Each structure stands twice: as structure tokens, then as C-alpha cells.
Structure 1
Amino acid sequence: MDPLDDVLRLLGTTSHVSASMTAGGSWAVGFDAPDGIKFNAVRRGRCYLRLDGSVEAIPLAAGDCYLLTHSRPYTLFSDPEAAAMPAGPIFLAATDGVARAGVGDEFAAIGGAFRFGERARELLLDGLPTVIHVPAATAEAAALQWAIDQIDVELRQRRVGATLVAEHLAVVMLIQILRHRLASEPAPTTGLLAGLGDPVVAVALREMHRQPAHGWQVAELARAASVSRSTLAARFKDLVGRGPLEYLTGWRVELAANRLRSGDETLASIAQHVGYGSESALSVAFKRVTGHTPRAYRHLARTR
């Protein structure tokens, strides 16, 4: 099994593609902190991205994409001296799906957001930088450009099912951006992506995701990765941020939590499915990870 695919599915990853934006002349648009993870793809022209509180701005050119993984206000601008107009009124006034800023249209971008389930930050996002910038010249940019082109066609032509197609294409973009991050230098410091970027740790992650209910021991995982037990344990903790069996416990709890949220399966059945011999063993692990008993968690999930 692909651990990244597993996590994205479990998190219920969805996307929303907003209106395109064009701009020209001297312009600046200020955006509130996004609800979720924000992405933008530059279709033509150039601009700069500056996060609230940052001095440095990131230059963006046609074909570039970026992902904002943490909720912070930001500004897109062509001119650092231009007064930033709030994005809200500009996008509310959009016509034909296009918001307009400044004078002219030499700049164009498509943007949107990704939303995840409640456990996304701990499982995936905490190990990511605030901004992931994918320049047009990178290897992943070709696949991104294809998805962007198709999204643009769908948004402009508005054929049957266009919104759904555009949103699925945006998820393709997300995977390509995460792949870019996985291959980047410097590599992610800790977390799932850091582990997947290591040939030894990635084997152990794939094995645990392939059979999460199996009674894994570190020695067995080390044999699968063709390294010693101590080597695997040290590399896994350095890269993922916790030991192999601690990670396995967390992943089993995430699988159990998903079943608690989405159905009426008994705790005994869930425990067996995720690798615990009894309901009480699952309850102990579940409360240690989430702070709630499985029954309390199920109740909270259904009253939100």
C-alpha cells in the first residue's frame, strides 16, 4: 500500500476551485488566512507572494504553483509600493468566473483550496513548510501544467460536471506538489513525507500500511528493509518523529477513528480489524493517542 495515498483517503481530502484572477499594471491583493490549504497556479505574467509577517517575497512566474500549508494571511502583488486591496470584494465582483485587479490582464492565475479531516495537521501537515513553491522548471511542473490547463478549460467551458472534474484535477495537483516536496532539497525534516523519502524507512512504512493489523515487531520490519533492528529504529525515529511501533499504534488508531466516524460497527469488530485482540486493548491505545475513549470519540464525531 502507498502510505501517502492511505493518508489522503483517510483524511477525506477534498478541493474547491475558486474563480480565476487577472491583474495588470501596479496592483496588490491581500488575502485573509485561508480556511484549509490554499493553492495558486500562475497562468501568465509574474507577481510576488508575501506571507503576513515575512520580509522576503517569493517571485512567481508563468507555470509556477504554490501551496500554503498553514493558515496565514498573504498578499499577491506586482508592485511592493501598491496599496493592497482586500480580496473579498474583488472575488465577489467576479464576472464569468474571473476576478480582476489593477488595470489590464497581463497576469492570470487559478486558485483554490484543499480541505481535510480533523487529524490532517498531525498526520500530514505539521511536517510541511508554510509555503511549498513549485517552479515551472521542475520535473513535477509538466504534470501540474497539464492539470492546470484542464482545470482552466473546465472553468471556462462550464460543461456538465465541470466543477467536479476541476476539483478532482486539483487533487491531482496536490499529489504532484507533495511529490515535489518529497524530492526537494532540503528534504522534509520530520513526518510522513520525510519517512517516504528514505529508502529504508519507506519500506517499513509500506509494510505497516499494507498489513496494519499484523503483529509487527521492529526486527521483522528491519528484515523487510534489509537493515539491522537498531538502524531501522534510529532512522525511523529521526525521520518520522516517533518509533516504528509508536507510528503503527497511531495509524491503527486513525483507522479505528475513521470506522467510528463512518459507521455503527462494534468496538470489538473494529479492534479486531485494526490489530487489537480486545476492545479494552483498543480503548487504551485510542485514549492514549486521542485523549478520548472510542465511545466518547464516536459521540463527539456525531454531534459536530
Structure 2
Amino acid sequence: MDVLSDVISAMRIGVPHSSHTRRIAPWQDHFPAAPGAGFHIVLAGSCLLVPDDGAPLTLRVGDVAFLTRGVGHALTAVSGEIEAETVLLCGAYQLDPSRTHPLLDGLPQVLHLPARLGHDAAVRATVDLLASELEQNLPGSSSTVIALLDVLLLLILRTWLGETSHPATSWAAALQDPGIATALRTMHEDIARPWTIPELAAVAGMSRATLTRRFTALVERAPLAYLTWWRLTTAARLLRDSEATVAAIAAQVGYGSEYAFSAAFKRQHGLAPGRYRVIPERSLRTATK
């Protein structure tokens, strides 16, 4: 898997949901803060997105607004409009607060893809399919909608991270740096391999010193420290999403013994693997503090 897909797979929990709505001005909908992420796409008309703690943002046809951390917000008709119709496609994703990734942590709380980006061919095609499935409610739509929501999440993030007109986050820069992106992808593709700095430098096509300096600056962890962190983050997902034994998961993420894995896991997550596996997701934030 590529890095972005890996990150989303590690964080996503539960089933995403979406809605296709029409509003006639004047109108207002409020969305309380929630753990997760969500999006609003304007299919017709316009509206204002008003974060609970931020400046209003005008959304027009083709615009995509992605809320990265479930911030509370309102959608409302544009001031002064009477009987104007707005058509919206909205969606929400649950994210595990115990498995956050710096790639998403570093993003603004609201990503705005104006129509010129929202009309990216892949984004547009997925939006059109999703809107059609929600509107027609045909047999199999439930499964189709979930799959399309997962695709749309990746496309929105990929489009924003690849855009150069906004201030780049360190992780956006890391994914656009050929050498660092290659090192990251290599570690993600073979997480259990006992990678060394010389091996990663050779894969990235740079010296050991350059790799360490650039990787640490952009990823905000040294290469092998990131590898350890990602192994244990992946292990957390496997503990919750699979029935594999702790010993099997330890081996899958590169640990030679269950004891060494358990000790490392507890240092990062604050809980032993077995305890982490059974504690309810909603309690993890408190339990791991």
C-alpha cells in the first residue's frame, strides 16, 4: 500500500455515512463537534460554512470543504437570499483518536478545494457516482456508497496534498520529495524488515546524512524512530480489526518476541496489547493518557 492509503486504513473505524440534501433559503444546519472528519460538496447553489471557532467560508458550485478534525460548524444560506436552492453532498468518517497520524494532524481544520480542484476528473466522477447512488437508492447501494466514500476521502486528501498554491505542510512536502517519499513507501511496504539507515539511504538515492536530515525535518521523526512508531500504530489497528494472536501481530510488524513487542507497545500506547484489544474505542483517549 502507498503511504496515504496506509494512513487512512490505520485511522478509519466504523462505517462512513453520507447524505444528499436540498435546502431552500433561508436555512441553517448545525453540526456539533465529533471525533472524525467530514466533507461538504456544493452540487448546486451556494452556502456559507461557519466553523464554531473560525471565519466563515463561502462555498459555491463544485467547491469541496473537508473538515479534518470534526470541528463543530454550521452551514447556512448566503445572507439575503430568498427561496434560492442549494444542493449538498455531505459525508462523515469516524477516526480512532488513539491512532492519529501526523499527516492529518498537520492539516488545517478546514481544507477548501475550490471548484477548479473540486472538478478534478477523479473527484468529480466519484462525487457524481455517490450522488447518484444516494438519490436512486438502488439494490446494493449501501455497499457502493461505503466504497465510494472511502475513495472520495483519499481523492480529497490527495488533491489537496498535491496542490502547490497553499502553504505546504511538512508531510505534504515529504510526500512530494522523491527520495523521502521513496523511503517512506519502502518502509510501509515491508514493515517487518529490520531496515537500516544505509539500506534506506540506498533506496532513496541519497547519502545517509542527507536522508536522516531531510527525513527528520519533514516527517518530524528520525527514519528508524518513524518506523518503530508506524509498526506500533499498525499493530494497534491489527489488534482491533483482526483476530490474529498477539504473537502473530508482533511478528507481522517486525518484532522477534512477544515480550519485546508488548513492552514497546505499552510505551507508545500506554496499554498492554491485550488490554488495548478489549477496551472500548470510546474509552481509549482517557485510558491512554
Q: Cα distance 1:303–1:235, how it changes in 2: closer, same or farther (>3 A)?
A: closer
**Does the 8 A contact of 1:18 with 1:111 survive in 2?**
yes
The match for 2:180 among 176, 195, 201 is 201
3-state secondary structure, aligned to 1:138: helix
Give the whole-Å Cα distance in 2 for the aligned partners of 1:209 and 1:71.
27
**Does the 8 A contact of 1:132 with 1:177 survive in 2?**
no
Query: What is the CA distance between 1:206 and its match in structure 2?
Result: 0.7
Give the whole-Å Cα distance in 2 for the aligned partners of 1:32 and 1:164.
27
Unpaired runs of at least 5, structure 2: 284-289
Query: What is the CA distance between 1:19 and its match in structure 2?
Result: 4.1
Query: What is the CA distance between 1:301 and its match in structure 2?
Result: 5.3
1:129-153 CA-to-partner distances (Å, cap 9, x unmatched) read: 1011111112763322222221221
Structure whose alpha-carbon radius of gyration is higher: 1
Q: Give the TM-score taking structure 1 as reference length.
A: 0.83
Give the whole-Å Cα distance in 1 for the aligned partners of 2:211 and 2:244.
35
Q: Cα distance 1:120–1:43, how it changes in 2: closer, same or farther (>3 A)?
A: farther
Q: Give the TM-score taking structure 2 as reference length.
A: 0.87
1:39-94 CA-to-partner distances (Å, cap 9, x unmatched) read: 1110111222221122x3222111111110123221223344x7xxxxxxxxxxxx
Q: Which residue of 2 aligns with 1:62?
A: 61
**Does the 8 A contact of 2:45 with 2:61 survive in 1?**
yes
3-state secondary structure, aligned to 1:206: helix
The match for 2:170 among 190, 206, 226 is 190
Q: Which residue of 1 aligns with 2:32?
A: 32
Report the RMSD for the aligned CA atoms in angstroms.
2.5
Give the whole-Å Cα distance in 2 for the aligned partners of 1:145 and 1:34.
27
Unpaired runs of at least 5, structure 1: 83-101
Query: What is the CA distance between 1:238 and its match in structure 2?
Result: 1.4
Query: What is the CA distance between 1:179 and its match in structure 2?
Result: 0.7
Pairwise mapping of residues 165-176 of structure 1 onto structure 2 (< 5 A)? 165-176=144-155
1:70-120 CA-to-partner distances (Å, cap 9, x unmatched) read: 23221223344x7xxxxxxxxxxxxxxxxxxx8535321111101233444
Give the whole-Å Cα distance in 2 for the aligned partners of 1:43 and 1:290.
42
Q: Cα distance 1:258–1:139, how it changes in 2: closer, same or farther (>3 A)?
A: closer
Give the whole-Å Cα distance in 1 for the aligned partners of 2:238 and 2:129.
35
Q: Which residue of 1 aligns with 2:130?
A: 151
Q: Percent identity?
A: 38
**Does the 8 A contact of 2:36 with 2:92 survive in 1?**
yes
Across the two proteins, how many residue pairs are aligned to each other? 281
Pairwise mapping of residues 58-207 of structure 1 onto structure 2 (< 5 A)? 58-80=57-79, 104-122=83-101, 124-138=103-117, 141-185=120-164, 186-191=166-171, 193-207=172-186
Deviates more, 1:126-135 or 1:113-122: 113-122
3-state secondary structure, aligned to 1:213: coil
3-state secondary structure, aligned to 2:92: strand
